[in-house]
Amino acid sequence: MTNTTTSEDIVADDHNANEDVSSEVTEKKPNPFTLVDWSTIAKEGLWKNNPALVQLLGLCPLLAVTNTFINALGLGIATMLVLIVSNLTISLVKDWVTKEIRIPVFIMIIASFVTIVELLMNAYTYGLYLSLGIFIPLIVTNCAIIGRAEAFASKNPPINAAFDGFMMGLGFMFILLILGGVREILGQGTLFYGAHLLFGEWANDIELQIFQFDQQFLLAILPPGAFIGMGFIIAGKNYLDNKQLDNQKNKKANKVERARVTTVN
């Protein structure tokens, strides 16, 4: 009997303690729906949860159009625009959309923005519109966009959602650009080839011929080159993450050692 009472007491104490802690936390941290946690969202989008590197979403356009830097930039900007406005809209309408029909509604919203972007590109960057081809309408099916709508925009306030769309889009574009640049240099020895398609006639001057080949290195331009390049980029990210982890461990180890030394003294 005594045993049980003591254990109950302990449990009760624990419970109280927990409540105290949680109330403290909520006092320190205001309601997450009012504060925009900019740096976390940015870190998630650019590095920790990068749609291309970690979630491995949207690989189809990623691998298909990154044969030149400018193509990658065009698709990156288009995807980012769609991500921002679709996240914003979905976050605005989330309270009126019931759970059962949310996916069709999300797709409709995304599709209409993709259509807008497609028409804009058709009007202002026609050359790029031609060279990206089917991959502009296919942004609708980019899992990164519907993924963010489902995982973030439908649960967060509009400003957060729009910022998340911007950061995710930036992270996606960042990888597109690396892959596009590397493949273009290895494949045809140029950089910014076709820049006038995106920026107008003046951009002909920024096309660089880095080195001259007799024959193009077709592997880098063809899809297998994209897969291999992607593998190397992911490996590079894992390498950097592991290195950071090691550094942290070393720091901790150093601290412990120092503590012991001081006590000895």
Partner 1 sequence: MKSISNLFVSSPHGKVGLTTNQVMRMVCYACIPGIAAQTFIFGWGVVVQALLCILIALASEALVLSLREKPVRRTLSDGSAILTGLLIALSIPPLAPWWISVIGVSFAIIIVKQLYGGLGFNLFNPAMAGYVVLLISFPVAMTNWLPVQQVMTYDISFLDCVSSIFTGFTLDGYSVNQLRIAVDGITMATPLDHFKTQIDLGLTASEIIKSPIYGEYGGTGWEWVNLGYLVGGLLLLKQGIIRWHIPLAVIASLFTLSLISYSITPDLSLTPMITLFSGATMFAAFFIATDPISASTTVRGRLIYGAIIGMLIFMIREWGGYPDGVAFAVLLANLTVPLIDYYTRPTVYGHKAKG
Piece of the chain touching partner 1 by CB under 8 A; list 87-95, 122-130, 174-182, 214-222: 214-222
- What H or E segment, with its residue span, contains residue 77? helix 69-93
In sequence order, which ranges of 125-210 are alpha helices (DSSP H)? Answer: 126-132, 143-151, 158-188, 196-199
- What H or E segment, with its residue span, contains residue 19? helix 2-28
CB atoms within 10 A of CB 171: 27
CB 219 within 8 A of CB 150: no
If binding is defined by CB under 8 A, does position 120 make contact with partner 1?
no
If binding is defined by CB under 8 A, does position 219 make contact with partner 1?
yes
C-alpha span between 236 and 255 (Å, rounded):
29
C-alpha span between 173 and 51 (Å, rounded):
10
Site string for partner 1, 62-91 (x = CB under 8 A): ------------------------------
CB 137 within 8 A of CB 119: no
Residue whose CB is less far from partner 1, 107 or 186: 186
Q: Which of 68, 71, 51, 67 lies closest to 59 in space, CA to CA?
A: 51
**Of 32, 133, 200, 224, which lies in the binding site for partner 1, with binding defined by CB under 8 A?**
224
If binding is defined by CB under 8 A, does position 215 make contact with partner 1?
yes
CB 45 within 8 A of CB 103: no
In the complex, minimum distance from the CB of residue 220 to partner 1, in angstroms, rounded to a whole number: 8
**Of 21, 119, 210, 228, which lies in the binding site for partner 1, with binding defined by CB under 8 A?**
228
If binding is defined by CB under 8 A, does position 218 make contact with partner 1?
yes
Using CB under 8 A as the binding criterion, the count of chain residues that bind partner 1 stands at 9
If binding is defined by CB under 8 A, does position 210 make contact with partner 1?
no
Residue whose token pair is 């009997």: 1
If binding is defined by CB under 8 A, does position 263 make contact with partner 1?
no
**Of 56, 170, 217, 237, which lies in the binding site for partner 1, with binding defined by CB under 8 A?**
217
Piece of the chain touching partner 1 by CB under 8 A; list 3-11, 94-102, 110-118, 212-220: 212-220
Residue whose CB is less far from partner 1, 235 or 259: 235
CB 67 within 8 A of CB 180: yes
Residue whose CB is less far from partner 1, 33 or 239: 239
Residue ranges that bind partner 1, judged by CB under 8 A: 215-220, 222, 224, 228
